[in-house]
Structure 1
Amino acid sequence: MADPPQIVLLLLLLFPIAAIHSNAEETFDVRRHLSTVTRSLSLSLSSYHVAKDISENSFVPSNIGDQCKPIHLNLVARHGTRAPTKKKMKELEALATRLEVLLENVKEQKSSVQNIPAWLWEWKSPWTGKHKGGELISEGENELYQLGIRTREKFPELFHEDYHPDVYPIKATQVSRASASAVAFGMGLFSNRGNLGPGRNRAFAVTSESRASDIMLRFHDCCQNYKAYRKSREPAIDKLKEPVLNEITQKLVKRWGLNFTLRDVSSLWFLCKQEASLLNTTDQACALFSPTEVGLLEWTDDLEAFILKGYGNALNYRMGVPLLEDVIQSMEQAIKAKEDGLVPGSYEMARLRFAHAETLLPFSCLIGLFLNGPEFEQILREEPLQPPPKPPQKRKWRGSTVAPFAGNNMLVLYSCPTNNSSNYFVQVLHNEHPISLPGCENSDFCPFEVFKEKIASPHLKHDYNSLCSLLSEQSEQTTPTSKFSQILSWFFPSDAAQHQKAEL
């Protein structure tokens, strides 16, 4: 038997090691790695848990002086957490049937069932029996309601006026989850400002354009050129994902003793994202994957968003020019009202918009967020950027940060009087946190004229109809193909790339 000093030494050596292993396990939370299905509002925190990803880049926000006062706010927000769509619910029902077949095969072959997770034997889709989908759920309502409250608390100078639709216009797409998000936000923003019910709520207006012509918030749906580009590229994206899915499928088959296919693994990953995000369940589908495998699957989702909605092609975000024009126009109107000496409440104080990931993500690209070094100059030249690097390499482009549920960009216009004149600045908050602007020397507090000339104007020289009309783009049809060929070359050696392109 070891004497007491040796025992003490062993305890000192063992417990720190155990603590390190414990901390490593605790720091990995699958709910932070769900790409654009990530919840913006942590279930246990009152602030964005994705803010960790922003703050890790050691960016120090600007110190805004007391002489600077906010005079206008632009908000572009994604809807809150929603239920799976009808199409995806059918996929989960098909997965339940497929799992039954796999488990029955194990029984018939008299294989070992000891390693198979117990939940699989009785699993049914939680959405079985539902006939509709895609709606904003209660967690999503609360995300936007709390965002409304926090916005008013953060900018009391902008939201102390009585409500009027011309002072606080609220716009949403005609998709119900977006308009419901706008209502939830408005209930928080104007809470205790009316006389309706015990919560002293008040009525407010939410306006929408027709889905067929909403080039402001659903520009992706109205852009024929983009729809053709996306349709032609989606099969190629699946090909890019295959190597990762193949590798993970082989590991899962060996680990759990079930003959999973690539399609099975893809459906199980989707189930993991839905369970973790909507049900806060992380010990079922998500537990089938190791942290490393989760990281790779998250990367494939981020890669898809990058190529089809982000910096992978200039058309992805350039088609958002009507929205950027609207933002710049609202700021110019606020500056004119300030210069004309109009009193607050007699002009528009905030322009509030609620839409989708397909809106927020391109808009973030238009103002140059999540770029490194010379990449901002590349997008001004309409060059596709290198895709987000594969784990374990670090990357800025993460769907969980760029466009989570209830994700948002706030562009706050400040007036900073100096020597009897006013200087105007724009601060960009991404998910409520200041973020650097590569187009403004990586500052988050950018002179309005610099923001307009260096960041907005290079995009605003493009016309939406010219970008999106198939007829007017006939002469440039090879551009998306050549850009995508470049992306393929980043993933495959030259010989393999030629074979891959021929196959596609």
Structure 2
Amino acid sequence: MKMAMATLLLLLLLSFFFNGLLLLLSAPIHSYAEEAFDVRQNLCTVTRYDVVKDIPGNVLLPSSIPDQCTPIHLNIVARHGTRSPTKKKIKELNDLATRIEVLLQDAKEQKLALQKVPAWFWGWKSPWKGKLTGGELVRGGEEEQYNLGIRTRDKFPRIFNEDYHPDVYTIKATQIPRASASAVAFGMGLFSGRGNLGPGRDRAFAVTSESRASDIVLRFHDCCQNYKAYRKVQEPTVHKLKEPVLDEITNALRKRYELNFTRQDISSLWYLCKQEASLLSMTDQACALFTPSEVSLLEWTDDLELFVLKGYGNALNYRMGVPLLEDVVQSMEQAIMAKEEGLAPGTYEKARMRFAHAETLLPFSCLLGLFLEGSDFEKIQKEQPLELPSKPPQRRNWRGSVVAPFAGNNMLVLYSCPDNSSSKYFVQVLHNEQPVPMPGCDNSDVCPFEVFKERIVAPHLKHNYNTLCNLKVEEPEPMSLTTKFSDAG
């Protein structure tokens, strides 16, 4: 009797186990994928730094810095931290509030079922309503830069072991307030506890800027007339490229919520999603309107725009950043000269730190050849056009959320090595504080300095900024949708 009971109990347990397993396997796969989906990592250049800084990028060959090499100089090119919406975007969000009221009123008049309408639509007002100015660094942006400053000092103690002097630790920013505020926040972290001001023992430090009208090192896009002409011609073409995706998602949301959305409504709601998720840590309102696959497509349209107008889509986009590349290499050469001449510590520059914009960081990353696919590095060396970033669900290296999030940065570390090593000086490239492969150096993050200059820098230096930007050229032709964009789908 006892044996029969035990057998029955075992059979029941096995039944529960297999039924549970079948239930698990038969559940929709997308539900588990969606649980793991984090919209905050898919906001293109509106992405917060802390959300993506530890996400590994392209496949990387192991670092090969020889033993006993020591860092002697650091270059940083950083984007400003998280900021509030600009004045133009604040108006767009106010217009969206009015538009939502119209959509709801139309639905009432047509006696449509309103139970599918998101509850937050009723009476919604923009969180930035009443703000007359915008674009300033927010508290979260200050913290991003302050903490980056602390981590940078901790990561490179040999570089930041001198008493502060503006010629030893150079900090530059553009004249745009959010960039200079980012430089200040970074410097406060970098030099925290190193001075005598206040209970935090802070210290004063200098942040210098060039005139906005002539800053060809950090705001080269503002001074490049040919680039402005290119943007003007190309923007309508890019918007046309994005239309099929916007139309597809517009139709999906019309059916889902039974409201008569337009393409512009969807564009504005996607922008609202990015602002809510990034600035307010809110993902259950505007972002919840879209499925993860729709978010991926919307992110891709942003990445396409970034690629064509600010990235690898046109060589002018990044070649106009040659003065910045020259400035970086010059600072390394001066550090090498100081090392070779045995100059006393504190008498030469050990770090040059720059705070600017996505329009600075993106071209600089392109000049280094970062985030390319396969043989693309050879193509840009030969000035051949690149294919557009692959459409989801295909994988792609070019993602604005990784390439240029808020506070995104490139660090170039110059190492001095013993005489018996393969090279006396090496350059390591870190992107968002992580080693990143350089196609020009066999996909390693570390490159002998002379090889770095020969393979990566020299091909760009044959281009002169004034010739690229101000020489009268023929009006640029808009890209052909049937040729260049035919592979976008």
Structure 2: distance between partners of 1:408 and 1:421:
29
**Aligned counterpart, 1:376:** 377
Correspondence list, 1:182-193, <5 A: 182-193=183-194
* Structural mapping, 1:66-465, within 5 Å: 66-419=67-420, 423-465=424-466
Distance 2:344 2:127 in 1: 53
Q: Which moved more, 1:136-145 or 1:23-32?
A: 23-32
Please give the per-residue CA displacement for 1:471-494, whole angstroms capped at 9, x wherever unaligned. Answer: x232xx26x427x23x6514349x
Which segment is superposed worse, 232-241 or 136-145?
Answer: 232-241
Q: Is 1:491 aligned to residue 473 of structure 2?
A: no
> What amino acid is the match of 2:19?
L
Scaled by the length of structure 2, the TM-score of the pair is 0.94
| Aligned equivalent of 1:27 | 36
Aligned AA (1:138): R
Q: Please give the secondary structure, in 1, of the residue aligned with 2:405.
A: coil
Please give the alpha-carbon distance, in whole angstroms, between the structure 2 residues aligned to 1:403 and 1:422: 32
1:7 to 12, 16, 24: 16
How is 1:45-60 mapped onto 2 (pairs within 5 angstroms)?
49-54=52-57, 57-60=58-61
User: What corresponds to 1:502 in structure 2?
Assistant: none
Structure 2: distance between partners of 1:62 and 1:284: 43
For 1:38, which of 20, 38, 47 is the aligned residue? Answer: 47
Query: How far is 1:5 from its partner?
Result: 3.6
Question: What CA distance in whole angstroms lies between the structure 2 residues aligned with 1:11 and 1:283?
Answer: 31
What is the aligned-residue identity percentage? 70
Call closer, same or farther: CA 1:269–1:53 in 2, change over 3 Å: farther
Shift of residue 441 of structure 1?
Answer: 1.3
User: How far is the alpha carbon of 1:21 from its aligned partner?
Assistant: 6.2
Q: Output the amino acid matched with 1:405.
A: F
**Corresponding residue pairs, total:** 478
Gaps of 5+ in 1: 43-48, 494-504
Q: CA deviation at 1:384?
A: 2.0
Letter in 1 for 2:485: F
Corresponding residue for 1:473? 472
Partner of 2:7 in structure 1?
Answer: none
User: In 2 relative to 1, CA 15–391 (structure 1 residues): closer, same or farther, beyond 3 Å?
Assistant: closer
Give me the whole-angstrom Cα distance separating, in 1, the residues matched to 2:482 and 2:146: 43
TM-score normalised by structure 1 residue count:
0.91
Deviation at 1:177, TM superposition (A): 0.3
CA distance in 2, matches of 1:274, 1:446: 39
Please name the residue that 1:500 is paired with: none
3-state DSSP class of the match of 1:215? Answer: coil
CA shift, 1:23, in A, is 4.2
After superposition, what is the alpha-carbon deviation per residue over 1:366-404, rounded to whole angstroms, capped at 9, x for unaligned? Answer: 010011232112112222211101111110000001100
- The answer on 1:64 being equivalent to 2:65 is yes
- Shift of residue 128 of structure 1? 0.3
User: For residues 335 and 118 of structure 2, what CA distance do their matches in structure 1 show?
Assistant: 59
**Match of 1:169, SS?**
strand
In structure 1, what is the Cα distance between the partners aligned to 2:60 and 2:16?
Answer: 46
Rounded to whole Å, the distance in 2 between the matches of 1:99 and 1:19 is 33
Amino acid of the residue matched to residue 28 of structure 1?
F
Cα distance, 1:416 vs structure 2: 0.8
Looking at structure 2, the residues matched to 19 and 159 of structure 1 have their Cα atoms a distance apart, in angstroms, of 53
In structure 1, C-alpha distance between the alignment counterparts of 2:386 and 2:394, rounded to whole Å: 16
Contact 1:61-1:434 at 8 Å conserved across structures? no
Letter aligned with residue 386 of structure 1: E
Residue 315 of structure 1 deviates from its aligned partner by: 0.4
Partner AA of 2:483 in structure 1: S
Does the CA contact (< 8 Å) of 1:61 and 1:435 recur in 2? no
Alpha-carbon spacing, 1:26–1:50, altered in 2? closer, same or farther (3 Å): farther
Deviations 1:278-311 (A, max 9, x none): 1111010011111111001100000000000011
Q: Residues 445 and 3 from structure 1, CA distance in 2 versus in 1: closer, same or farther, beyond 3 angstroms?
A: closer
What is the CA-CA distance between 1:9 and the residue it aligns to?
2.7
Query: Is this contact kept in 1: 2:60–2:444, CA < 8 A?
Result: no
Q: Distance in 1 between matches of 2:369 and 2:56?
A: 17
The code of the aligned residue for 2:247 comes to N
Distance in structure 2 (CA, Å) of the matches to 1:271 and 1:94: 12
* C-alpha contact 1:38 1:400 (8 A) present in aligned 2: yes
* Equivalent residue letter for 1:36: T
Give 1:123 shift.
Answer: 1.1
> 3-state DSSP class of the match of 1:231?
helix
State whether residues 32 and 50 of structure 1, in contact with CA within 8 Å, keep that contact through their aligned partners in structure 2: no
Query: Which residue identity does 1:353 align to in structure 2?
Result: R
Deviation at 1:10, TM superposition (A): 1.8
Partners of 1:80 and 1:385 lie apart in 2 by: 30
Counterpart of 2:55 in 1: which secondary structure?
helix
Distance of 2:432 and 2:62 partners within structure 1: 14
Quote the offset at 1:11 in angstroms.
2.8
Structure 2 unaligned blocks of 5 or more: 1-10
8 Å Cα contact 2:34-2:292 kept in structure 1 = no
